[in-house]
């Protein structure tokens, strides 16, 4: 009924300016100032909105996304083994000869030049020509000796290509292992999302429970404050006692203490929720408030069948998928290890040119080389056998991990269903009990007002009411938390955000 009235009021408010736009007066400056000073209504944060924010802004989840990107990049690296590896080559080097070899080369150059130039002095006709030939030949030999370079420059340019034709299918299985590993990380990312959604829901329910405790504490304070005023009024007219007045003073202060504790719990729960949402300062601010606790419906009190839920968990849980991909990755890794027992065939091709003391490469300077290499490890000290045994043991470990993960998933579903059953039963009991306790408190209050009930009995009735209301609030929150735990166990919570 309240929702219907609110809808009619809002509709009238929207239609009124359209119908009266020709006659409505312009707003005054004072009205505009008053409207500007009116605080805006706080934004009500729902559970679904909190989940969307957490999935978008939570830093730990973003880190998981980066790990997925790393795994996908490793898949691309593994696929590169199927293609030829082509590289361009360009080198420049300078080599200095050892002093012993340099001295020997200089002596050889000197003797050779001296022998060639000495022929002139041997054929000379006059002493002068002989002297000129003798000294000229030796000067020429010394000059030739000094021109011997002690270093050699070498320049290389070309292209090389290497292609592995066959390696015992190691490339194929390594590529498959990389793909399964990437899917493992994708499943791990989904598992992180599943757990984050569950953590956000628990923090959200903690905020709602703390607010219910605040409302209960405020109601307790209001009740005792009203009783305190009535006790003071009775004492003024001589029909009340000071002990009654002091009793309600104590009760008011106790309610205030409970209110302080509930407020502290509420603020702490808000900080935890803000941290999960990825708020930089871990504070939602006064402009945002969490939606109030909803009322349960009849469907919330019905217990679902457990067998379809177990099957849904085995089919949809990311951690189970992660273990399955882990087993397939381990199997592929074992097959890749087995490739070491087969021969490897590699083709190579190159076109290169090597020049000394020159960089003027011409077409005729390049040489072309084609080759094929077939290699097989005849003996490696047992390394290959040990590696294959290690891979098979890792595969067996993955099988055991998958079995454990499936058992854990089934166990979690069964525990969640049992928790839901207990929460439903507790809510039925606490709701009925709260009605009885409240009715009893009202009767005791009326009896105390006319002097038929004692102050002690009124205190007990009010204390029982506060305890019953707190238990009822906890039972209501526990019911919603139990349903969410069951949906988390079956990975149903992920479906709304895929």
pLDDT tens string 123-138:
655 665 555 555 555 5
Is 404 or 131 the better-scoring residue by pLDDT?
404
Query: What is the pLDDT, as a whole number, of residue 33?
Result: 47
Query: How many whole angstroms from its chain centre is CA 400?
Result: 26
User: With respect to CATH, is domain 43-84+168-339+383-497 assigned 1.20.1600.10?
Assistant: yes
Query: What is the pLDDT, as a whole number, of residue 19?
Result: 32
Is 99 or 226 the better-scoring residue by pLDDT?
226
Q: Which residue from 496, 464, 480 is spatially nearest to 223, judged by alpha carbons? A: 464
- Residue 57 CA: distances (Å) to CA of 43, 61, 205, 398, 488: 19, 8, 20, 33, 20
Give the whole-number percent of the chain exceeding pLDDT 70.
Answer: 81
Give the whole-number percent of the chain exceeding pLDDT 90.
Answer: 54
474's CB contacts (< 8 A; 6+ apart) are 209, 430
- Cα separation of 211 and 265, whole Å? 9
> Concatenated DSSP letters for 327-345?
HHHHHHHHHHHHGGGS-EE
| pLDDT range class, residue 202, cuts 50, 70, 90 | very high
Query: What is the pLDDT, as a whole number, of residue 132?
Result: 53
97-104 average pLDDT score: 65
| pLDDT range class, residue 103, cuts 50, 70, 90 | low
Q: Which residue from 405, 198, 185, 201 is spatially nearest to 317, judged by alpha carbons? A: 405
> Concatenated DSSP letters for 415-449?
HHHHHHHHHHHHHHHHHHHHHHHHHHHHHHHHHHH
Query: What is the pLDDT, as a whole number, of residue 122?
Result: 56
pLDDT tens string 151-170:
677 889 889 999 888 888 88
> Concatenated DSSP letters for 238-292?
TSS-HHHHHHHHHHHHHHHHHHHHHHHHHHHHHHHHHHHHT-TTS---TTEEEPP
Whether residue 34 has pLDDT greater than 50 = no
| 319 and 409 Cβ atoms separated by less than 8 Å | yes
Q: Which residue from 325, 340, 328 is spatially nearest to 169, judged by alpha carbons? A: 340
Query: What is the pLDDT, as a whole number, of residue 147?
Result: 56
485-490 average pLDDT score: 96
197-219 average pLDDT score: 95
Whether residue 431 has pLDDT greater than 70 = yes
| 189 and 183 Cβ atoms separated by less than 8 Å | no
| pLDDT range class, residue 5, cuts 50, 70, 90 | very low
Whether residue 29 has pLDDT greater than 50 = no
Domain boundaries, the chain: 43-84+168-339+383-497
CB atoms within 10 A of CB 480: 19
């Amino acid at each position: 009924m309240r929702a219907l009235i609110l809808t009619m009021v809002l509709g009238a408010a929207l239609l009124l300016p359209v119908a009266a736009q020709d006659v409505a007066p312009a707003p005054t400056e004072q009205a505009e100032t008053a409207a500007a000073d009116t605080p805006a209504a706080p934004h009500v944060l729902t559970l679904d909105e909190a989940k969307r924010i957490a999935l978008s802004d939570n830093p730990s989840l973003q880190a998981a996304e980066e790990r997925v990107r790393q795994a996908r990049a490793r898949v691309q690296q593994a696929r590169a083994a199927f293609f030829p590896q082509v590289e361009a080559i360009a080198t420049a080097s300078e080599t200095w000869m050892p002093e012993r070899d340099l001295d020997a080369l200089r002596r050889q150059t000197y003797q050779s030049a001296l022998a060639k130039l000495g022929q002139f002095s041997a054929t000379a006709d006059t002493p002068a020509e002989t002297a000129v030939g003798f000294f000229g030949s030796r000067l020429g030999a010394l000059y030739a000796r000094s021109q011997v370079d002690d270093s050699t420059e070498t320049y290389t340019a070309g292209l090389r290509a290497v292609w592995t034709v066959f390696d015992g299918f190691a490339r194929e299985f390594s590529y498959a292992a990389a793909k399964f590993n990437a899917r493992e990380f994708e499943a791990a990312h989904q598992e992180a999302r599943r757990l984050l959604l569950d953590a956000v829901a628990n923090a959200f329910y903690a905020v709602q429970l703390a607010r219910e405790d605040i409302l209960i504490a405020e109601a307790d304070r209001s009740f005792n404050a009203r009783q305190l005023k009535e006790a003071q009024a009775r004492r003024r007219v001589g029909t009340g006692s000071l002990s009654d007045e002091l009793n309600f003073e104590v009760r008011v202060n106790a309610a205030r203490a409970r209110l302080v504790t509930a407020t502290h719990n509420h603020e702490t729960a808000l900080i935890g929720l803000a941290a999960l949402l990825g708020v930089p300062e871990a504070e939602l601010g006064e402009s945002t408030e969490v939606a109030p606790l909803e009322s349960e419906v009849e469907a919330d009190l019905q217990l679902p069948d457990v067998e379809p839920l177990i099957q849904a968990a085995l089919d949809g849980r990311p951690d189970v998928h992660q273990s399955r991909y882990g087993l397939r990755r381990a199997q592929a890794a074992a097959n890749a290890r087995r490739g070491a027992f087969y021969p490897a065939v590699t083709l190579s091709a190159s076109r290169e040119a090597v020049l000394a003391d020159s960089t003027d490469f011409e077409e005729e300077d390049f040489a072309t080389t084609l080759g094929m290499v077939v290699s097989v490890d005849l003996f490696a000290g047992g390394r290959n056998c040990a590696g294959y045994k290690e891979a098979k043991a890792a595969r067996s470990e993955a099988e055991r991990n998958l079995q454990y993960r499936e058992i854990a998933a089934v166990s979690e579903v069964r525990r969640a269903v049992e928790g839901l059953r207990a929460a439903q039963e507790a809510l039925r009991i606490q709701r009925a009990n709260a009605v009885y306790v409240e009715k009893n408190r009202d009767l005791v209050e009326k009896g105390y007002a006319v002097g038929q009930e004692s102050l002690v009995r009124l205190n007990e009735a009010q204390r029982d009411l506060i305890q019953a209301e707190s238990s009822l609030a906890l039972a209501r929150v526990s019911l919603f938390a139990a349903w969410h735990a069951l949906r988390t166990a079956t990975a149903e919570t992920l479906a709304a955000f895929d």
